[in-house]
A = this chain, B = another copy of it.
Amino acid sequence: MAKIKDVAAAAGVSPSTVSRVLCNGPVSDKVRKRVEAAMAKLDYRPNLAARRLRSQHTDTIGLIVSDIRNPFFTAVSRAVEDEAYRNGMRVILCNTDENPDKEAMYLRLMQEERVTGVIFAPTRQMVASIDQQALGFPVVMIDRVSADAATDAVVLDNRRAAAQLVGHLLQQGYRDIGGLFGNTSNTGMERHAGFSEALQQAGLAAPARFVAPSVEAAEQAVLQWLAEPTRPQALLVSNGVLLLGAVRAIKSAGLHWPQDVALVGFDNEVWTDLLGDGLTVVEQPVNEIGRTAMAMLLERLDEPERSQRIVVLQGKLVVRGSSLPQ
């Protein structure tokens, strides 16, 4: 494999000149042409490891999420990657499975890679303990954040979104409303807070249950809840993964929405409008979340000293049949 010296020799110039061509440095047009011809002839590929070592910048960012198969993260990842490559940066993707040990391991790996920065959807335990100074690179958190986080962040207005769903249910005449939330992320906690507040303001009880963030856990929990005499008239479910579990539970219990139980949730996944008259959900602006996170990271690199910034995006209430009593 050709190296910079070979190209230099073939073009009759010094290695530095070849390097300048590579980096768009000052080179006369005539020489540049010659060098580019030599590169093409030798099928030269600059060695990125060498460039990174020497130049001390990797143009690489880390993207740490719980599971790329969660459609929310799938969509956000794609947006982040597009924006990254558009800015000449590469992305290293890491799946943590909501496991703090894996989170720590991948953060360590990011340090070894000397990444330029990281976009991170942390678990609840991790949020407060992230120290950018110690890490050595800036972090933008997404999806799961709390007030005590010390980094930039892009989040949905989770309380408001949950409150909106509750408001919608109240408006439709539901009074007996239950909530199902994930127990590992701050997102679940915030959505629970919005849910509780909205119901308390209406003078109603706010029965809530918390489960592991998996389809199976949600399915089992909902199946059990629906079998109890205190079964709620309406169910609010905290994200797309849990929502799928809830749908499976309702289906396998032989029940139907909205007559047996109304159902509302988060994440406007592709299947939510295909079921019966559709599921009422809050849609997250997934592309905007990804793009914004990447943009904030780039801004932070430009201005390391500027104060912490949290961008709060609004969800969009999409009303469908699952919450409209007939």
Give chain A's interface residues, CB within 8 Å of chain B. Answer: 1, 43, 45-50, 52-53, 58, 67-69, 74-75, 77-78, 81-82, 90-93, 95, 108-109, 111-114, 134, 136, 215, 244, 247-248, 251, 269-271, 274-275
A248 CB contact (under 8 Å) in B43, B47, B92, B274 = B274
Known: A49-B53, A69-B74, A251-B274. A92 touches B95 (CB 8 A): no
A113 CB contact (under 8 Å) in B48, B53, B95 = B48
Tell me the bound Cα distance from A71 to B297 in angstroms.
28
Q: Which chain B residues lie closer than 8 Å to A52 at the CB level?
A: 49
Tell me the bound Cα distance from A82 to B269 in angstroms.
25
Q: A68-B74, A91-B92, A274-B275 are in contact. List 20 more A-B contacts (CB 8 A).
A: A1-B136, A43-B134, A45-B108, A45-B111, A47-B112, A48-B112, A48-B114, A49-B49, A49-B53, A50-B53, A53-B53, A68-B77, A68-B78, A68-B81, A69-B75, A81-B93, A91-B93, A215-B270, A271-B271, A275-B275
Min Cβ gap A88→B in Å is 11
Q: Which chain B residues lie closer than 8 Å to A77 at the CB level?
A: 68
Tell me the bound Cα distance from A80 to B114 in angstroms.
24
Q: Which of A81, A112, A136 has the most CB of B within 10 A?
A: A112
* Minimum CB distance partner of A270 in chain B: B244
Check if A95 sits within 8 Å of B81, measured CB to CB.
Answer: yes
Check if A49 sits within 8 Å of B91, measured CB to CB.
Answer: no
* Minimum CB distance partner of A91 in chain B: B93
Q: Which chain B residues lie closer than 8 Å to A67 at the CB level?
A: 78
3 interchain residue pairs of minimum CB distance: A271-B271, A49-B52, A45-B111
Q: Which chain B residues lie closer than 8 Å to A95 at the CB level?
A: 78, 81-82
Q: Which chain B residues lie closer than 8 Å to A247 at the CB level?
A: 274
Q: Which of A75, A95, A108, A274 has the most CB of B within 10 A?
A: A274
Check if B49 sits within 8 Å of A58, measured CB to CB.
Answer: yes
* Minimum CB distance partner of A286 in chain B: B69
A-B pairs with beta carbons under 8 Å apart, 17 shown = A1-B136, A47-B53, A47-B112, A47-B114, A48-B112, A48-B113, A49-B49, A49-B53, A68-B74, A69-B75, A74-B74, A78-B95, A81-B93, A91-B93, A248-B274, A274-B275, A275-B275
